[in-house]
Structure formats: structure tokens, C-alpha cells
């Protein structure tokens, strides 16, 4: 059974930290859209002083915001809302998500621009057309026992879809508007089948609704500190662990109130992080932390090194991905294992550099390395070569990456002006030259 204590702790912290005056993001950054300033509950905009967030508190607390879902979350959520067998595959055409940190769900960055809104509208229409052109897919969206006609049929079909999309039961007024839209299906679309026509309009509308696009956290009160509702807790938990909407079990735990109890929360957190769907967030985080995707652009001077295949970059990316999956998922490890595991996944292109026997073809094999020479991802070819120059190593820039990305150090600019390193000297390594120079 997978435990992933790191994710468990992280996710619980996200849930606990859901009632506070302390900012979850900087005020005025417009996480949900233009002018979406963060204002603590009960504090207006006329200059009232925000309480000292450094004062001792008995619980973690944050001012919530309205960040939109990420493109990955959009894909996963649409799949689960409409009970599809695969993600729609449309987010690749969206205006690219910004990448300002190692976390893709940074509310400070996730804004909706006019161009992105057009992308959402087009995608909603495309998905709705696809789904309602498929009789099998339509059947999946019609619950057992649904009435044959009338408003009762529309309600039975729409309510579950809207509940999944909004991550909570749909309100009576919202449901009434969606039913009215459903009833206009044939008139607007020209599709004769009333169910297909109605669903086409409803799906298009739901996938453009702010209740779907934004992760709203309004809480249970209106003044002062307030806790998240059970459904908001479920939503925060599911997006943190799975990058998608809450599943049926999580929604039931919210509906019953079980999710607001300590034991109920622990049960759901453990269930989610033990599921293989939690793997993707872990892998993505570590791959972003070490900038694995950039390994594809690694170039070295083959003449200077004596050996460097032209297409080595893709090999280095795959090697790092396999290594991270092995240490984090299969071995249930974390950053310690990533930095110390004395093995690598090598193929015929990298084996000569590691000084090990070469596997046949392009196949990768897990190979134990000399622990006195190599331990962890920071000593593997991808990281070392990417953080170096084409003709020589670059320990200073490697150190900067380790200090800022791994140790979370805040490095200031060096004082004064330093001349460049002296020219290469026979018998002297780059480390020798740096030490002599500094």
C-alpha cells in the first residue's frame, strides 16, 4: 500500500489552513481575474486595518481567493464530470498556463484573459458536440430510473452533472435556469432528439460557468473568521491530491458532514493519497523542481568530451523521469531518496559515460552505480550536463540551482565585480580554478 507521508502532510495542511486572515496569496494580484483583490471576511475596502498576521494563533488560517482551475485540472475534471473514458485533449490549444513556481495551481498566476476565455468557450462547445453526438455517451449521463419526459426528466439528467461540475449540490435557481436552457435545445441547435439537444446546451453552459471554472471558497459564515464548508474542503482536497473534482465517495463524506470531523478527514486523505491518481502530482512536482523538461535542450561539445550523441537530450529526460518514478512511486520515497539513491536508468547512449555495461538498443535498465562517485539525481548526467557549459563543467550554477530550488535559499547578488575564471590550466579541474579564484 502506498503511504506518501509527504503528500498526506501537505494535503492535511491545505485543509486545516482554510479559515484565516493570513493571505493565501498577495492582495491585489487578481488570482481569479481582473481586480480580484483578496479581502478578509468582514473587512471592507475603506482602509480598515487587517489584524497582525504574525500574532500567535491557535489554528492555521488564510484569506481565500478565487483562482481558476489549471489546464490539467480542466482536462481531468471534464472527463470525470461527463463520465468520459479519456480526457478531451483540448487544453493543448489553450493559452498556456504561466509557470512561475513549482506548483501549477498558483492562484497568483491563474488569471482568465480574453484569449483564454475564448479558448474555454470553444472547448465547451466542442466537448458538448462530441458527447451529444455519441448515443453511448449520452446513455452514461442518464441515471437509472430517469423519467421518460417532462421537467422531471430534465432535472434527473442535469442535477448530477451540475453537482459534479460545481463540486456541490446545484441550487434551485441554478437548476431552474439549466432546465430552461435544456428545454430550448431543439429550437436553438436544430437537433431533433430532445435529450441530445438539451444536453448539448447544458454542457456548453456548465463548462463555462464560474462555478466550474473557479475554485470558490466562500466559507460557512459572513463575518470574521469562517471555516470552509464540507464541499469546499472536498474540492480543495481532491484538487490537491488528484487534480480533479471530488469523486462520489468524497462528495458523500461532505454531504454527511463526516469530512468535517478529524477522523473522517483522515480517512478521506488517506484514501486519496493511496490511490494511484495521486502519483501524477508527485511526479510533476519533482520533475519541475529539477527542471527535467529542460534536459532535452542539453548540448555538449563532442570533440572536447570525446563522446556526445546528437539526440542525447531526449535520453536524459527519460532517464530522469524513470529515476524519479522509481524513487518516489515504487520505493515510496521522497527528496532524500532522490538525492541519495545510488543507481540510474541507463541505455546504450549513457552507459559509456557512467562506465557501465551497455544495455542493448535504446532500452533503459536500472543499474547500480559506485556510491563513492554518484548518488542521486544531482550526480546523474542530465542534471550535471544541463547545468554546465558545452566545453566544461559549471559548479557555481549547479550550486545556485541546489541552493534556490532544493534548500530554498534566497541568494543575493555577490558584492563587487569579479573577473572571469582564469583560462584552463593543465591538470587543474574547474573546481580547482574556482577555489583558487574565490
Distance CA 345, CA 382 (A): 11
- Whether residues 325 and 412 share a domain: the answer is yes
Claim to verify: residue 201 and residue 340 sit in the same structural domain: no
Q: Could you state, in chain order, the average pLDDT of each consecutive group of 10 residues for the chain (438 residues)?
A: 46 39 38 36 38 49 74 97 98 84 69 92 98 98 95 97 97 97 96 97 97 87 80 95 97 97 96 94 91 92 84 94 96 93 95 91 91 93 90 80 85 72 68 71
- Whether 414 is covered by a domain: the verdict is yes
Domain-located, residue 61: no
Does the residue 271 lie in any domain?
Answer: no
Domain boundary among 163, 198, 213: 213
Domain boundary pick from 213, 230, 261:
213
Q: In the prediction, which pLDDT does 311 show?
A: 86
Q: Is 380 helix (H, G, I), strand (E, B) or coil?
A: coil
Of 382, 390, 387, 381, the closest CA to residue 399 belongs to: 387
Are the C-beta atoms of residues 110 and 155 closer than 8 Å to each other? no
- Structurally, the chain folds into a number of domains equal to 2
Rg over CA atoms, the chain: 26
**How many CB atoms are located within 10 Å of the residue 203 CB?**
25
pTM across the whole model: 0.77
In a domain? residue 392: yes
Show Cβ contacts of residue 147 under 8 Å, excluding neighbours closer than 6 positions: 153, 156
- The span from the CA of 154 to the CA of 175, in Å, is 10
CA proximity to 284, closest of 159, 88, 102, 50: 102
CA-wise closest residue to 155 among 168, 137, 142: 142
Answer whether residue 147 is part of any domain.
yes
Backbone conformation region of residue 60, classed left if phi is above 0, alpha if psi is from -120 to 50, else beta: beta
* Residue at 3 is within a domain: no
Final residue in a domain of this structure, among 213, 247, 271: 213
How many whole angstroms separate alpha carbon 377 and alpha carbon 300?
Answer: 19
User: Residue 263: CB partners within 8 Å, gap ≥ 6?
Assistant: none
Given this model, what pLDDT does residue 44 score?
36
Cβ contacts of 159 within 8 Å, gap of 6 or more: 169, 170, 175
Inside any domain, residue 410: yes
Is 303 among the domain residues?
yes
Examine the domain organization and report whether 205 and 89 are in the same domain: yes
The domain in which residue 201 lies consists of 71-213
**Per-position b or e across 161-193, b if 16+ CB within 10 A of its CB:** bbbbbbbbebeeebbeebbebbbebbeebebee
Number of H helices, E strands in the chain: 20, 2
What's the CA gap between 3 and 270, in Å, rounded?
A: 8
What is the per-residue pLDDT across 98-150, written as a single tens digit (0 to 9) for each? 776 666 666 667 888 899 999 999 999 999 999 999 999 999 999 999 999 99
The 3-state DSSP class for residue 126 equals helix
Amino acid at each position: 500500500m502506498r503511504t506518501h507521508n509527504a503528500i498526506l502532510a501537505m494535503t492535511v495542511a491545505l485543509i486545516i489552513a482554510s479559515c484565516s486572515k493570513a493571505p493565501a496569496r498577495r492582495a491585489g494580484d487578481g488570482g481569479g481575474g481582473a481586480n480580484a483583490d483578496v479581502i478578509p471576511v468582514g473587512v471592507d475596502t475603506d482602509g480598515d486595518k487587517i489584524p497582525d498576521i504574525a500574532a500567535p494563533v491557535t489554528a492555521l488560517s488564510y484569506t481565500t481567493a478565487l483562482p481558476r482551475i489549471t489546464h490539467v485540472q480542466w482536462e481531468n475534471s471534464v472527463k470525470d464530470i461527463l463520465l468520459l473514458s479519456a480526457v478531451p485533449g483540448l487544453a493543448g490549444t489553450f493559452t498556456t498556463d504561466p509557470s512561475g513556481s513549482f506548483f501549477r495551481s498558483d492562484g497568483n498566476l491563474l488569471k482568465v484573459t480574453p484569449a483564454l476565455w475564448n479558448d474555454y468557450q470553444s472547448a465547451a462547445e466542442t466537448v458538448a458536440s462530441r458527447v451529444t453526438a455519441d448515443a453511448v455517451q449520452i446513455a452514461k449521463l442518464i441515471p437509472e430510473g430517469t423519467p421518460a419526459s417532462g421537467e422531471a426528466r430534465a432535472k434527473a439528467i442535469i442535477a448530477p452533472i451540475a453537482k459534479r461540475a460545481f463540486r456541490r449540490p446545484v441550487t434551485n435557481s441554478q437548476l431552474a435556469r439549466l432546465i430552461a436552457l435544456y428545454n430550448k435545445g431543439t429550437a436553438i441547435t436544430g437537433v431533433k432528439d430532445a435529450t441530445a439537444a438539451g444536453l448539448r446546451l447544458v454542457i456548453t453552459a456548465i463548462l463555462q460557468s464560474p462555478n466550474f471554472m473557479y475554485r470558490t471558497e466562500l466559507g460557512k459564515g459572513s463575518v470574521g473568521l469562517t471555516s470552509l464548508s464540507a464541499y469546499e474542503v472536498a474540492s480543495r482536497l481532491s484538487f490537491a491530491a488528484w487534480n480533479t473534482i471530488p469523486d462520489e465517495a468524497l462528495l458523500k463524506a461532505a454531504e454527511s458532514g463526516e469530512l468535517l470531523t478529524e477522523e473522517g478527514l483522515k480517512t478521506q486523505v488517506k484514501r486519496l493519497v493511496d490511490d494511484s491518481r495521486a502519483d501524477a502530482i508527485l511526479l510533476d512536482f519533482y520533475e519541475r523542481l529539477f527542471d527535467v523538461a529542460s534536459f532535452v535542450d542539453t548540448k555538449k561539445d563532442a570533440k572536447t568530451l570525446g563522446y556526445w550523441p546528437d539526440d542525447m537530450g531526449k535520453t536524459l529526460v527519460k532517464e530522469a523521469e524513470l529515476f524519479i518514478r522509481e524513487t518516489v512511486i515504487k520505493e515510496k520515497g521522497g527528496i532524500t531518496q532522490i538525492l541519495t539513491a545510488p543507481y540510474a536508468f541507463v541505455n546504450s547512449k549513457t552507459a559509456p559515460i557512467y562506465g557501465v555495461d551497455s544495455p542493448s538498443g535504446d532500452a533503459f535498465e536500472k543499474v547500480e552505480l559506485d556510491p563513492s562517485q554518484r548518488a542521486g539525481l544531482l550526480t546523474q548526467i542530465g542534471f550535471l550536463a544541463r547545468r554546465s557549459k558545452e566545453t566544461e563543467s559549471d559548479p557555481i550554477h549547479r550550486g545556485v540551482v541546489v541552493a534556490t530550488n532544493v534548500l530554498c535559499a534566497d541568494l543575493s547578488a555577490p558584492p563587487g565585480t569579479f573577473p572571469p575564471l582564469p583560462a584552463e590550466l593543465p591538470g587543474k579541474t574547474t573546481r580547482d580554478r574556482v577555489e583558487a579564484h574565490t
